[in-house]
Structure 1
Amino acid sequence: MRIIPILTILFILLIVGNPGFAQTPVRVDIDLTKPTKAVSPYIYGKNNVLPNTFLTSGTSEEVTKAKEAGVRFIRQGGGNNSTKYNWRLKLSSHPDWYNNVYANDWDIAAKNMFDKLPGVQGMWSFQLLGMAAANANNNFSDWTYNQSQWWSGVAQNLAGGGQPNKAGGAKATVEGNPNLYLMPWTADSTVGILDKWFGAKGLGYDKSKIQYWSMDNEPEIWSGTHDDVMKTQCSAEEFMQLYFKVAKAARAKYPDIKLSGPVPANEWQWYRWGNDGIPSDGKKYCWLEFFIKRIAEEEKASGIRLLDVLDIHYYPETSDAAKCVQLHRVFFDRNYDYPEANGVHTVNGGWDSNINKEYILGRCSDWLTKYMGANHGVGLAVTETGMKSTNANVQAVWYASILGEFMKNGVEIFTPWSWDIGMWETLHLYSRYNQENYVQATSQDETLISAYPTVNATSDSMTVVLVNRSLTEKKTVDLNISGYHASPGSCPMYSIAGLGSAETFVSHASNALKKTQVQTTTSRISIELVPLSVNAIILKSLVMGSTPELPKNNFNATAYPNPANDQTTLDFSLPEKSTMNIALFNSNGQVLKTIINSAFEAGNHQLNLDTSNYPDGIYWIRFYSETNVETIKLIKTKNQ
């Protein structure tokens, strides 16, 4: 038996038991040599920002915060309150408050957007149910009943002469008559708002700022949310026929419109219509696959585009912090066993409890390609979601992780419904400091550490967002960058961490962002991230002006011939083994080519540079290692 010395045991216990002990760094690789992907500005979105005399969440303070934080997209329909909206009378029926009818002015909301949030894109909704609010004369007198206080019977159908069930619950003692407060609403009625807003004789609104229209809201649960009208849930095919009528009528009036649907309510409804699959062609389909299949079939039959954005809702149940910070993986991660998987067990028509990998937007992408072809052009969206943890730092990390994954996977629209402390700060950090194009990145530990880098159009500025999802541990990250040559020295890092229970975001100038400086070489950064933090490092490239100051000669670098014709030879020497980076810049300081990025032994070295594809002019070649830098001038001319 081997006896382990007591000091060794104590040392092992010290390592294991001390969370502050130095850990193996997490390697993160960013590769700008691979194709970048445009980031949709519409993922920086929010629901119910604008005052419209109905939704109390829309206030002037909300509008100011939206502007300061950099909101780029607003979904203003009001969720379930949009289904029975009457744009002619400016009325809505509130399904979560006795079906009572209230004033709701979308005209005012849209005008507020144009006036107070210039440059923001708006989304409103079309009504497909077939009934819309008609008057407020038959409301249930909730003030008389209990001074308009919430109780368990607020969803009872009491408008139209109903009698409340004082025991609470969903069912009234006497149901109200919907014909007393609603009116028929056809496809022509619902799309008539396009004439009012955009027509020559209408309000003259700019339709390019209101391109997106939601095809109603959560139709697969209408028999619950709108059971005053729909006592028994319509079939999936009946809904599709309603959808087709409105979509075709809208496209005829506004050819460039962006139609978004079918907006299912939650994970179970992604797959089930009611409690079952949908029979078609001799098999049962889950709801989203059936929807995509029917859209593809009707588009082929009619020649009319009927879907531009595939949109879903998502409301997870967990409040456990460790699970909440992993919820971003539900959308695209094909290896993630989702603890709350339920509806996905039925994705193939039956019930298989072994199917736990959700990747719902990945599945939708697969179905879109299967039924509509590789170049279908349909975007992806999540226009309602929320998370139950009340910890502001968990909220910030959850939201930041979803934004990062949506950037990575090209999601078009993201508008959370629930809005909690930590989210304004995160939205502001992303919208204000991110660049236009996503850069591919990988982490050795994507469970806890992810990098979401973006670069601008000229590749001279890069923002690297680093998220630490660990609830308790600091994490050291070794960041390695290929195809981008950062200016060495110090660069700013903005961090969200240690948030409390009160809102901290006021404006772009007044918020909880903590600014520090991190040290960087041309291609590497080592940084420590505190637990539950969102961090953005702002890098500038080694961009030179047309007449840069030449640094001290460190590598004895030369190019010959110089002036060059179609080729030149680079000659340089190294006093010791080193990783060398050599890049070619044009006279405007933009990187044209990474010539080399690899390790060299000490001594003299030569490299051939092909210049045949570059026009005549002045160029700069920069040689740099982690400690030294040298720039030489190269002239390209055919007359050499």
Structure 2
Amino acid sequence: MSSQRPPRGHPARRRLRLLVSLVAVGAVGLGSVLVTDADTATAQAADGPAVTVDPGGERWSISPDIYGMNFADASLKEELGLPVNRWGGNATTRFNYLNDTSNRASDWFFENIPNEGAEPEELPDASSANRFIEEDLALGAQTIMTVPLVGWVPKSRELACGFSVEKYGPQESTDQWAPDCGNGITPEGERITGNDPTDTSVPAGPEFVGGWVEYLTERYGTAAEGGVPFYSLDNEPDLWHETHRDVHPTGASYEELRDTGYEIGAAIKEADPTALTLGPVGWGWNSLLLSGLDQQVCNEEGGDCWANPPDRAEHDGVPFADWYLRQMAAYEEANGTRVLDYFDNHWYPQGEGVWNGDDDPETQALRLRSTRQLWDPEYVDESWIGQPVALLPRMRELVEENYPGTRLAITEYNYGALDTVNGAVAQADVLGIFGREGLDLATLWAPPAPDDPGAYAFRMFLNYDGAGARFGETGVSATSEDSDQVSVFAAERAEDGALTVLLVNKSTSPLSVPLTVAGAGDVTAEAYQYGEADPSAIAQLPDVEFADGAAGLELPGYSITQVVIPGGAAGGEPASSPAPTAGATLPPAEALPPAEAVRPEAVGSGPGR
């Protein structure tokens, strides 16, 4: 196949440059922790918010699975000890493990494109999915494998497309490498309807998925035996009418998403009772409120439809996520089997330019404010959403009210600009919030290259010293007087009892921050920092001297600083799990038409997903 063809599903992999911890010596400068008392520190720099950590206060377990990625670079995966790696995205909705071929959906002209790297006679054993799993197993990462609920997979390894120009007529756009494959839109801008799904695909239901999981358990063992532990119930099925409209032109209804979840979830559990499932894997805000059918109809009709969408009206006005979780609970009660283990919803901030990587000063500031949408019920989202989101408390509330015991996952998210320090600062803030708010699992979509600044945000949690030192697993109470300027996260590490305190300066200016750690007394702590002073490395800084539990820190603008207080210096009690930050009562959520500039189907657009 031509080397000019688009990528085949994995992000580009770049060689990892060796990470060297730089020991700061000589005079204390912009990239250093100021080793002095808080009053002296404040006098030498602009005043920053006071930060307080209380190891004896509220404590909770932080899930290690929040630090995952999709299609992670192998070298970065190994260096970080990445906990979770997801095989996901639009192309995995219609992946056939038997012929190692996926349909690239609306991302690339609805084409069946065989994956490279194996000869047909070597399949399915040498498939790209198997190679993905085997790399994860070798490097210690847990695999999330996406399985199809859409009902169709590619019929063969031969190139085929959902909207042939020869068969369905001229189209607005065609593949330059395969001119017979169009985008399914006429030159006049009308969508082509009535095409034949069997042009590209064959039916694939519970028997197909169950057979695949049986094959994987025979090859790698059950989840309990070290095989594939997680299965994602498709990918953004509430957008099938957009992304996979060549085989699923009508939006998925409440009943379809429930019934396919029942059938495929049961098939997975029958093949591997120890595996865990994630669903319904919606695309974002409206996924919590509406079925795919309602999103399609209201996008077409507009107006009052958004206030009273027809599919929801037929279900007594109950928002989709509430109804779905209740139905999954009812299945377990009736059948004695839980077919949904994680409530999973994707999240891409919808503020203009944020997730797509714009890097002007206004977007940089918006990106860093937008992390508040994950937790703050008083923050009104600065996008077409235009209302408080408080995503993680809202998802937790949905589970507690409708299907207690279900865990929380976000298997796609991205706050953008991971090739900049601004993006790295946002990413560090997001990871800290995930841990503080009790999220159980998260996987970043389109992860950074190993030498991108965004990778250093992960290193600050998973390998800040270049020798495997990690942020702690037991969260402890930590507060900042102004989290818009400086956010703080703290956790105790089980291995050595050390207290790790991570501070994120989200302002562009250096700030002098007084840090108080209850019970710390007089103690010497290590410090590490990443920021604009050297975007290619994490620097180890001069030790921080605490006097009666207080120290002054000088934080450069756009920086991430880790202070490591040795075990036993600050006392605390064993963790109680979970104990995330409590929030105010959440306001009702309202479904809205997505703004044209940030329509959900644009998320992940382009070949390869």
Alignment of 1:451 with 2:491, yes or no, is: no
Tell me the residue number matched to 1:187: 206
CA radius of gyration, larger in: 1
Alignment of 1:126 with 2:147, yes or no, is: yes
Pairs within 5 Å for 1:531-546: 531-541=557-567
The size of the alignment, in residue pairs, is 479
Q: What SS does structure 2 have at the residue aligned with 1:384?
A: coil
* Higher alpha-carbon deviation: 456-465 or 430-439: 456-465
Tell me the residue number matched to 1:3: none
Report deviation, 1:457. 2.4
Tell me the residue number matched to 1:335: 378
The 1:194/1:174 distance shift into structure 2, 3 A limit, reads: closer
Report deviation, 1:28. 1.4
Alignment of 1:498 with 2:518, yes or no, is: no
1:387–1:418 CA contact under 8 A, matched in 2: no
Tell me the residue number matched to 2:94: 84
1:337–1:358 CA contact under 8 A, matched in 2: yes
Tell me the residue number matched to 2:59: 36
Pairs within 5 Å for 1:489-528: 489=524, 491-498=525-532, 504=536, 511-513=537-539, 515-528=541-554
Q: Normalized per residue, which structure has more strand?
A: 1
Q: Distance between the aligned counterparts of 1:131 and 1:139, measured in 2?
A: 14
The 1:40/1:31 distance shift into structure 2, 3 A limit, reads: same
Alignment of 1:357 with 2:375, yes or no, is: no
Letter in 2 for 1:415: T
1:41–1:72 CA contact under 8 A, matched in 2: yes
2:282–2:346 CA contact under 8 A, matched in 1: yes
Q: What SS does structure 2 have at the residue aligned with 1:34?
A: strand
Q: 1:223 aligns with which of 241, 265, 268?
A: 241
Pairs within 5 Å for 1:88-487: 88-95=98-105, 96-104=107-115, 105-115=128-138, 117=139, 119-139=140-160, 153=173, 177-199=196-218, 202-204=219-221, 207-273=225-291, 274=295, 275=298, 276=306, 277=309, 278-279=311-312, 283-317=316-350, 318-319=352-353, 320-342=363-385, 356-372=387-403, 376-389=404-417, 392-420=420-448, 421-432=452-463, 433-457=470-494, 460-470=497-507, 472-483=508-519, 485=520
Alignment of 1:488 with 2:498, yes or no, is: no
Report deviation, 1:466. 0.4
Report deviation, 1:392. 1.0
Q: Distance between the aligned counterparts of 2:254 and 2:377, measured in 1?
A: 28
The 1:124/1:371 distance shift into structure 2, 3 A limit, reads: same
The 1:541/1:122 distance shift into structure 2, 3 A limit, reads: same
> TM-score, structure 2 length as denominator?
0.72
Q: Structure 2: 5+ residue runs without aligned partners?
A: 1-41, 116-127, 299-305, 354-362, 464-469, 575-609
The 1:234/1:456 distance shift into structure 2, 3 A limit, reads: closer
The 1:131/1:494 distance shift into structure 2, 3 A limit, reads: same
| Higher relative contact order (Cα pairs below 8 Å, separated by 6+ residues) | 2
Q: Distance between the aligned counterparts of 1:397 and 1:298, measured in 2?
A: 42
Q: Distance between the aligned counterparts of 1:542 and 1:186, measured in 2?
A: 55
Tell me the residue number matched to 2:586: none
Q: Distance between the aligned counterparts of 1:292 and 1:392, measured in 2?
A: 38
Q: Distance between the aligned counterparts of 2:210 and 2:184, measured in 1?
A: 38
Q: Structure 1: 5+ residue runs without aligned partners?
A: 1-18, 50-61, 146-150, 343-352, 505-510, 544-580, 584-589, 593-640
* Higher alpha-carbon deviation: 517-526 or 129-138: 517-526
Letter in 2 for 1:369: E
Q: Distance between the aligned counterparts of 1:390 and 1:434, measured in 2?
A: 21
The 1:249/1:390 distance shift into structure 2, 3 A limit, reads: closer
Q: Normalized per residue, which structure has more helix?
A: 2
Report deviation, 1:516. 3.7
Report deviation, 1:487. 5.8
Letter in 2 for 1:187: P
Report deviation, 1:168. 7.1
Alignment of 1:65 with 2:93, yes or no, is: no
Letter in 2 for 1:334: P
Report deviation, 1:167. 8.1
Letter in 1 for 2:462: S
The 1:468/1:241 distance shift into structure 2, 3 A limit, reads: same
Cα RMSD after superposing both structures: 3.3
2:162–2:199 CA contact under 8 A, matched in 1: no
Q: Distance between the aligned counterparts of 1:188 and 1:521, measured in 2?
A: 66
1:162–1:175 CA contact under 8 A, matched in 2: no
Letter in 2 for 1:479: L
Tell me the residue number matched to 1:345: none
